[in-house]
């Protein structure tokens, strides 16, 4: 069974976990850290997410292609070809 949660819910859950960690003794926090690392290794995305805000040439090309496709589908119809 797979449970899916949205980003807002995930952030709220993470904040609750962090709050609960503050109530644990230091050695238990280390156990939680080890378990999180185990889960990350087992289920985490092997490719880190690029959170940079710089646009590569490929990004700009993708945006241009998507914009042109959207414009073609949204603004021009067969009737406009006359």
What digits encode the pLDDT tens for the residues 4-32?
778 888 888 989 999 999 999 999 999 99
The pLDDT tens digits of the residues spanning 63-79 come to 999 999 988 888 766 66
Q: For residues 37 and 31, what is the distance between their CA atoms, to the nearest angstrom?
A: 10
Q: For residues 39 and 60, what is the distance between their CA atoms, to the nearest angstrom?
A: 35
Cα 14 to the center of its chain, rounded Å: 15
- pLDDT greater than 60 at residue 38: yes
DSSP H helical segments within 1-82, as ranges? 7-21, 26-43, 57-75
The full set of domain ranges for the chain reads: 1-46
Amino acid 29: pLDDT = 94
Average pLDDT over residues 40-67: 84
Q: For residues 11 and 75, what is the distance between their CA atoms, to the nearest angstrom?
A: 39
How many CB atoms sit inside 10 A of residue 26's CB? 6
């Amino acid at each position: 069974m797979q449970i899916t949660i949205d980003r807002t819910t995930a952030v709220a859950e993470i904040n609750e976990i962090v709050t609960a960690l503050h109530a644990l003794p230091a050695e238990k926090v280390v156990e939680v850290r080890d378990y999180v690392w185990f889960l990350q290794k087992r289920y985490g995305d092997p490719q880190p997410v690029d959170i940079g805000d710089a646009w590569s040439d490929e990004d700009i090309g993708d945006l241009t292609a998507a914009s042109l496709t959207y414009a073609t589908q949204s603004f021009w119809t067969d009737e406009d070809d006359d």
